[in-house]
Amino acid sequence: MTSAPILQAPNGEPAPRTRRRWLIVGALALVVLAGLAYWNPFGWGHGGGGPSGSGAPGATGAPGAGGGGGKRPDANRPTPVAVATASTQALNHTLTALGTATARSTVTVRALVDGQLIRVAFTEGQFVHAGDLLAQIDPRPYEAALANAKANLERDDAQLQNALVDLERYRGLSAEDSIPKQQLDTQEALVRQLKGTVNSDRAQIQTADLNLTYTHVTAPVSGRVGLRQVDAGNIVHTSDATGMVVITEVQPIDVIFPIPQDAVQDVVQRTSKGAHLVAEAYGRDGRTLLATGQLSSVDNLIDTTTGTVKLKAAFPNKDLTLFPNQFVNVKLRLETINDALTIPTAAVQRGAPGSYVYVVQADGTVTMRVPKLGITEGDRVQVLEGLASGDKVVTDGTDKLREGAKVEVIDAAARGSGKPGAENRSGAGAAGAGAGAGASAGTGAAAGTGADPGTREARKKKHAQE
């Protein structure tokens, strides 16, 4: 098989088209070599068995490098954990329960007399005091009834006075034996009858006066009025089921909440000694304080279905943060322990030994302890026995711990970003990658330097031929 003849110029040199072809092939070969040096698909220079002298410095397969020459020592690394220190502080002994705000009194205002409502004197949602005018019923029928009762009294009283005069006259005549005794007895009976009639008239006057007073509908208690049920112009009756308006007493307001029967004795013993137990009402999140009050009473029996006892606390509610029938989280403070040894509740683990914690020792290892715990408030729990002030307990990272395990104390923020040592390992990999990139850059630069003179020379010859 014969190769194709190479075209030559008259002066014995290769033809221009052939020279351009070889120059292009050479440039492509240099580009391929530069790409291989940059991407390094065979692991040259990283301890991966590439050609000698082609790797970056340090390509000996050391642990942590970018290649696979060494074994990672993760199995022997300390376990990263977050710790907290046991400390003494004031701790409140509280009972927590779900309570219901209850109005001190709820009154439905009804009409006590029938009639037409001619005026509504309140605004919905208004605060009223006992005795304030709420509505006005047409008083004219009751004014007329009062005037009639007074007129009857005057008539019957005049008859009584006349009968009394006749009685005195009959007594004088009877003493002179001028009239029969039966006539005197009849007159005395008439006087007593008229006295009864006069007393009845006086009662009728009081009733008419009272009915006239009822035409002025007033607030029986102080509180907040709700939505009105009638409007001016309606005929109201004493038998109306809905009434005219509802008034709820919300200042002060009560909160009723249950506590377990086991805690009743602690409450009773303190209240019997005159202690004023503070009750705090919190919102649904359990953190927003709505109002502060005081325990007012304890129920006299235990609910057998739930095993709880109901307690009532009174709150001034001056800023109206509590509404009737509102659900609140109640914290009843029984006592305050000033020097309580506490740890975070996150440090307490539960398992076969019961409640236990991991304590970090001076040599960087952990040991498991089973402390005796007391009361809990928020995210802190009291330690009665088993720990001392200053002990460091593990709060995060306990899932991989065991007795005697070596640990590395870190911050919670650092644990959230990644495991310790990741930065070192990634830094080594970056260094290896940087070395490879530098070598590739150098190769590319050399390739460019070699290609430029040839290209310039080719261009000169081409222009000369043209």
| Stronger pLDDT, 38 or 290, i.e. the higher one | 290
CATH of the domain at 411: 2.40.420.20
Pick the closest to residue 93 from 367, 304, 382 (CA basis): 382
Cβ(102)–Cβ(190) under 8 Å?
no
pLDDT, residue 66, reads 41
333 and 361 fall within a common domain: no
| Residue 412 confidence class, pLDDT cut points 50, 70, 90 | low
153 and 181 fall within a common domain: yes
Q: Per mean pLDDT, which range of 17-26, 87-96, 347-356, 436-445 is the poorest?
A: 436-445
319 and 377 fall within a common domain: no
118 and 232 fall within a common domain: yes
* pLDDT tops 90 at residue 190: yes
Any domain includes 7:
no
331 and 265 fall within a common domain: yes
Domain around 133: 113-236
| Residue 259 confidence class, pLDDT cut points 50, 70, 90 | very high
Cα separation, 33 vs 29, in Å, equals 6
Average pLDDT over residues 197-226: 95
Peptide bond into 353 cis (omega under 30): no
β-bridge mates for residue 8, sequence order? 14
* pLDDT tops 70 at residue 3: no
61 and 118 fall within a common domain: no
Cβ(132)–Cβ(245) under 8 Å?
no
Any domain includes 180:
yes
Please compute Rg for the chain using Cα positions: 52
315 and 390 fall within a common domain: no
User: What does the longest C-alpha to C-alpha distance in the chain come to?
Assistant: 193
Cα separation, 340 vs 211, in Å, equals 67
pLDDT, residue 25, reads 83
Q: pLDDT tens digits, residue range 7-57?
A: 455 455 555 567 777 788 888 888 777 776 665 555 554 444 443 333 433
pLDDT, residue 177, reads 86
Any domain includes 120:
yes
CATH of the domain at 179: 1.10.287.470
334 and 350 fall within a common domain: no
CA 378 to mean position of chain CA atoms: 13
Any domain includes 289:
yes
Any domain includes 8:
no
Instruction: With 0.75 as the threshold, say if the pTM is over it.
Output: no
* pLDDT tops 60 at residue 444: no
| Stronger pLDDT, 62 or 375, i.e. the higher one | 375
193 and 126 fall within a common domain: yes
176 and 252 fall within a common domain: no
* Residue where a domain terminates, one of 236, 259, 294: 236
| Residue 277 confidence class, pLDDT cut points 50, 70, 90 | very high
Cα dihedral 44, 47, 50, 53 in deg (nearest 10) = 80
| Stronger pLDDT, 18 or 254, i.e. the higher one | 254
CB atoms under 10 Å from CB of 446, counted, come to 14
134 and 47 fall within a common domain: no
* Residue where a domain terminates, one of 316, 338, 360: 338
Q: Per mean pLDDT, which range of 295-309, 366-380, 407-421, 423-437 is the poorest?
A: 423-437
Cβ(86)–Cβ(371) under 8 Å?
no
Q: Give how many domains the chain has, as a whole number.
A: 4
* pLDDT tops 60 at residue 417: no
Any domain includes 326:
yes
157 and 214 fall within a common domain: yes
Cα separation, 270 vs 387, in Å, equals 30
